[in-house]
Structure 1
Amino acid sequence: MRAESRPIPYRCPHIQASVVDLNAERIAAWNDPDLSKLPFYEPGLAALVDRARGRSLHFSTEVDAAIAAADMVSLSVNTPTKTKGVGAGQASDLRWIEASARQVAACAQGHTIVVEKSTLPVRTAEVVQTILSAAQAADGKTFAVLSNPEFLAEGTAIADLEAPDRVLIGGVDPVAIEALVAIYGQWVPAERILRTNLWSSELSKLTANAFLAQRISSINSIAALCEATGADVQEVARAIGTDSRLGSKFLKAGPVFGGSCFQKDILNLVYLCGHYGLHEVAAYWQQVVVLNTWQQHLIARLVVNRLFGTVTGKRIAVLGFAFKADTNDTRETPAIRICRDLLEEGAQLAIFDPKVGVEQIAADLGVEALVGSEGEVVWQPAADPCAAVCGADAVLLLTEWQQFRQLDWPTLAAEMRQPAWLFDARAVADAAAARAAGLRVWVVGEGEGR
């Protein structure tokens, strides 16, 4: 079997997988002998690519040829939230899914299984099937459409690939379903491969992301209450996390959820509920997004308030810019809004993230110049935490990188302008060591002085 797909693990060496993209620069990076230049960072990814690239895994810009040669084609394209037109700000923009389906319809040969990998609104498969059916009627080609929503989380994607909680495969053609089951069955236990209809598969991924995001917003709302009442959000989370009805995942208070999926999928869910006249349900899920944004503004306001009501001209060290540890992805990262709020207040930011590049930070902040109109530093990259805190009035920790759990606070505090603060929005730093070094400390869900 030949397949155009995302990288298939080394467990299926008999399958020739071709990853194709119109972006030549990105494909060149995938093919670069220097594995540190892969387009994105993910623990374990470089080793997997090194093991399979050139053998069973290939990267190319020859999209049409790859489709023509494939028995199975996975549509793994971006589905951002629409910025204009009907459903702007909520509905998914499906232009790339439609374009991909049309390209498959034009280039495929014989019988082709088309797999939806992108997170899509329910009944998108109907659109794909309609486009493919037109080609099928005209050219004698045949197609089967499956839904196999992505189950990998950034930061743990390779581990998730090796041992997924579950794999969803939705469709109406049992032969096509079993063909995809056979691939996953090379390493995934049979009981973890769930067969559903197309619509259930599409909606399950959307709903799972919405539920997880809702938990994050819920625990952040409780974190605010903990600070006001003297409770400890980590103790509350541990208590409710041991309840078998709830579980312990996604009960970590922080600077809200980010990444490419959660907000986009919730807004899409809001749109779908409104489309079907379920306005109260739409309002419920919309509030999850509202609370997410509120938490980001809350953290920025807290920094301003603790620094005597103004941050104008003050240097603030920002540790972490990725939306979570073990990825260089900054899509919807809370750091963007928090940093923009602080820049609006006149702060001068020194930003360090071990994997996010300077160009990406500049693009996300939308601040072209590092130096303002009056010669002041607006923001600057830092080579390491020590360089970031030099002369700073505060440290703001926004990503839970492992190295931030082991910072040398006596050394860092000595480089800061006193009185100085640590604002730990991830509750991962050694707060006791920071206080012992002379810093005032705020920890999300705990407040000060615990």
Structure 2
Amino acid sequence: MYLIKKICCIGAGYVGGPTMAVFAKNCPDIEIEVVDINQIRINAWNSDDLTKLPVFEPGLPQIIKKVRGRNLNFSTNVSNSIREADMVFISVNTPIKEKGVGAGETSDLRWVESCARQISEIAEGHTIVVEKSTLPVKTAQTIKDILFSSNYQTSEKSFSVLSNPEFLSEGTAIRDLEEPDRVLIGGDDDEAIKALNDIYLNWIPQEKLIFTNLWSSELSKLTANAFLAQRISSINSISAICEVTGADIKDVSFAIGKDNRIGSKFLKSGPGFGGSCFKKDILNLVYLAKFYGLNEVAGYWRKVIEINSWQQKRIYEIVVEKLFGNLVDKKIAILGFSFKENTNDTRESPAISICRNLINEGAFLSINDEKVTEEDIEKSLKKDNFVYGFNKNEPCWEFQSNLYSAFENAHAVIILTSWDKYKAIDWERVSLSVKSPFWVFDTRSILDIKNIQDLGFNFWQLGFGNNN
């Protein structure tokens, strides 16, 4: 029987930090350390100002305040933490490969492999290694091959490998961790499975804990995200049909969501899905299917991503069309840059491609977001050596922390994230500072059409069949 007294989590990002905070809250007798080589990130987790945590997640600051320094610590001392741990969670970044075999489809596992090698060299006694990152199927075998290599095996150390994928939705991650639909544990070592199971039993009922082999656990995570993304692409494709037929996507979504075989979740149309997992996990499925010669399967899932990209391109083209086919020297207010509300995550945000295209058309953007910083927007718009703007020597966007300042002398506004603040905009106040004619583009369907049109504004709403 394995007794877990100390846990090490490698990776202090969107998964590692919140997950270990909830673990620490519910398991006060276990010492937990989250480690990362990024000193700036660790400093942020240790900041006295809880509004400056590197991850914005409702409910997280309150938990950090309660457990940090008690049984949860954040450190850059990776080696020491591994050495002392009974259980090590691997929760590092696994982006899509940019070069080499599988580039553009499969995950870059260099950091996972690096973690496995470090654990194999440093760990002492018996260590349970838990995959927490979203990984391609059969990644656990890579970890096992490294850990069980004869170069590292001694009579004084041994390992078990488990898969315990996260099923978190950013913006509701704390609730998802506290009250999950299910917890999945994959592995072939019954004692290791029981050790992890017993940790979760501190706050989760046994009936919500599911056990599979390693490969089923890994594939279940990819499949869950692929199915959710597919629903978003499906409803977004219908939004385009609504616009040309006179239907209203909100009515359609409500009607089909009442079918208990379908359900109402993930049927909100918008500018497309984002975040770190959906696109990456679908691409991993595409690569896996192609590897085994299942080209029709690969083509099916590839289409989900193509629809997502098409939706973003379609929105940008509609903006250009409504503004007389010309955006040169026109100011556009951008409301929202995170990929969804209640998170500061910009990874794969629809706002990135839409803003880039608008800038390339000559527009000047005034960007506001509730939680995303100016520095993060700068990184997102400039990544991949992107050079934008008609005149490279002049600024083509600005960050406005004040919502109403973003509207000053603007020709249009585009709502890209459903922050509550944007649902309560004082449009009469806006009307005093914008250009005429003024366009409101609501890609999240959060505004009341009549209130906007009564002020003389032109209005376009995604999936609404009576757009101007």
TM-score calculated relative to the size of structure 2: 0.94
Would you say the 8 A contact 1:136–1:142 is kept in 2? no
Tell whether the 8 Å contact from 1:113 to 1:176 is kept in structure 2 after alignment: yes
CA distance in 2 between partners of 1:92 and 1:178 (Å):
30
The answer to whether the 8 Å contact 2:410/2:435 transfers is: yes
Cα distance in 2, alignment partners of residues 161 and 416 from structure 1: 44
Q: Which runs of no fewer than 5 residues in structure 1 stay unpaired? A: none
The answer to whether 1:206 aligns with 2:222 is yes
**Counterpart residue type for residue 288 of structure 1:** V
Contact 2:21 2:64 in 1 (8 A): no
Alignment CA distance shift 1:203-1:133 (3 Å)? same
Alignment of 1:324-339 (within 5 A): 324-339=340-355
Q: Distance in 2 between matches of 1:449 and 1:227?
A: 7
Cα distance change on mapping 1:160 and 1:386 into 2, 3 Å: same
1:182 counterpart (198, 205, 211): 198
Residue 107 of structure 1, CA deviation:
0.7
Deviations 1:286-337 (CA, angstroms, capped at 9, x unpaired): 0111111000000000000001111111000000000000011000000000
Identity of aligned pairs, percent?
A: 54
C-alpha distance in 2 between matches for 1:209 and 1:257: 11
Q: What are the within-5 Å matches in structure 2 for residues 265-284 of structure 1?
A: 265-284=281-300
What is the CA deviation profile of residues 254-292 of structure 1, one whole-angstrom value per residue up to 9, with x for unaligned ones?
Answer: 000000000011011100000010001000100111111
Q: Answer with 131-140 or 261-270: which moved more.
A: 131-140
Distance 1:302 1:449, change over 3 A: closer
Which moved further from structure 2: 3-12 or 255-264? 3-12
* Residues in 2 aligned to 1:414 and 1:313: alpha-carbon distance in whole angstroms: 20
2:451 aligns to what? 433
Alignment-mate amino acid for residue 313 of structure 1:
D
Query: Normalised by the size of structure 1, how large is the TM-score?
Result: 0.97
State which of 2, 8, 11 in structure 2 corresponds to 1:4.
8
Which residue of 1 is the match for residue 410 of structure 2? 392
Corresponding residue of 2:51: 36
How far apart are residue 164 of structure 1 and its match?
0.6
Match of residue 406, structure 1, among 413, 418, 424: 424
Task: Assess if the C-alpha contact under 8 Å between 1:223 and 1:445 holds in 2.
Answer: yes
Given residue 15 of structure 1, which amino acid in structure 2 is its aligned partner?
A: I
Amino acid at match of 1:3: I
Q: Which residue is 1:72 aligned to?
A: 87
Q: Does 1:379 align with 2:397?
A: yes
| Residue pair 1:441, 1:448 contacting (<8 A) in 2 also | no
Q: Tell me the residue number matched to 2:73.
A: 58
What is the CA-CA distance between 1:447 and the residue it aligns to?
4.5
Paired position in structure 1 for 2:98:
83
Report the AA paired with residue 448 of structure 2.
Answer: D
TM superposition shift of 1:41: 1.0
Task: Give the partner amino acid of 1:436.
Answer: D
Deviation at 1:414, TM superposition (A): 2.1
After the TM superposition, which of the residue ranges 318-327 and 138-147 deviates more from structure 2?
138-147
Query: Shift in Å at residue 449 of structure 1?
Result: 4.4
Q: What is the match of residue 23 of structure 1?
A: 38
Q: How does 1:39-188 map to 2 (within 5 A)?
A: 39-134=54-149, 135=151, 137-138=153-154, 140-188=156-204
**1:416 aligned residue:** 434
Q: Secondary structure at the match of 1:316?
A: strand
Kindly state the Cα deviation for residue 397 of structure 1 after the two structures are TM-superposed.
Answer: 0.2
Q: How far did residue 382 of structure 1 move?
A: 1.1
Question: 2:13 is matched with which residue?
Answer: none
Which letter maps to 2:159? F
Q: What SS does structure 2 have at the residue aligned with 1:111?
A: strand
Which amino acid in the other structure matches residue 7 of structure 2? A
State whether residues 396 and 422 of structure 1, in contact with CA within 8 Å, keep that contact through their aligned partners in structure 2. yes
Q: Hey, what's the Cα distance between the residues in 2 that align with 1:371 and 1:149?
A: 41
AA matched with 2:6: R
Q: Aligned-pair RMSD on alpha carbons?
A: 1.6
**What is the aligned partner in structure 2 of residue 312 from structure 1?**
328
User: In the alignment, which residue of structure 1 is the partner of 2:239?
Assistant: 223
Maintained 8 Å contact 2:124/2:156: no
For residues 276 and 76 of structure 1, the distance between their equivalents in structure 2, rounded to whole angstroms, comes to 28
Query: Secondary structure of 1:137's partner?
Result: coil
SS of equivalent to 2:95: coil
Letter in 2 for 1:418: S
Shift of 1:140: 3.9
Give the superposition deviation at 1:33: 1.0
2:462 match: 444
1:287 aligns with 2:303: yes
Residues 146 and 169, structure 1, Cα contact 8 Å, conserved in 2: yes
Following superposition, the deviation at residue 410 of structure 1 comes to 1.1
Q: Could you say what secondary structure the match of 1:3 adopts? A: strand
Does residue 1:257 correspond to 2:273, yes or no?
Answer: yes
Q: Secondary structure at the match of 1:366?
A: helix
Structure 2 SS opposite 1:142: strand
Contact 1:406 1:430 in 2 (8 A): no
Segments of 4+ moved more than 3 angstroms? 367-377, 447-450
| AA aligned opposite 1:57 | L
Amino acid at match of 1:332: E
> Once structures 1 and 2 are overlaid, which stretch shifts more, 158-167 or 424-433?
424-433
What's the secondary structure of 2:26's corresponding residue? coil
| Whole-angstrom CA distance in 2 between matches of 1:360 and 1:372 | 23
Equivalent position SS for 1:48: helix
Name the CA shift for 1:370/1:229 in 2 (closer, same or farther; >3 Å).
closer
Structure 1 contact 20–61 (Cα < 8 Å) conserved: yes
Between the aligned partners of 1:359 and 1:256, the Cα distance in structure 2 is: 23
How far apart are residue 349 of structure 1 and its match? 0.5
Residue 410 of structure 1 contacts residue 434 of structure 1 at CA under 8 Å; is this kept in 2? Answer: no
Contact 2:431 / 2:455 at 8 angstroms: preserved in 1? Answer: yes
Q: Please say if residues 371 and 379 of structure 1, whose CA atoms lie closer than 8 Å, have aligned partners that are also in contact.
A: no
Deviates more, 1:428-437 or 1:300-309: 428-437
2:338, 2:351 within 8 Å by CA — same for their partners in 1? yes
Moved more, 438-447 or 207-216: 438-447
For the Cα contact (< 8 Å) 2:360–2:388, is it kept in 1? no
Counterpart AA for 2:8:
E
CA distance in 2, matches of 1:272, 1:370: 35
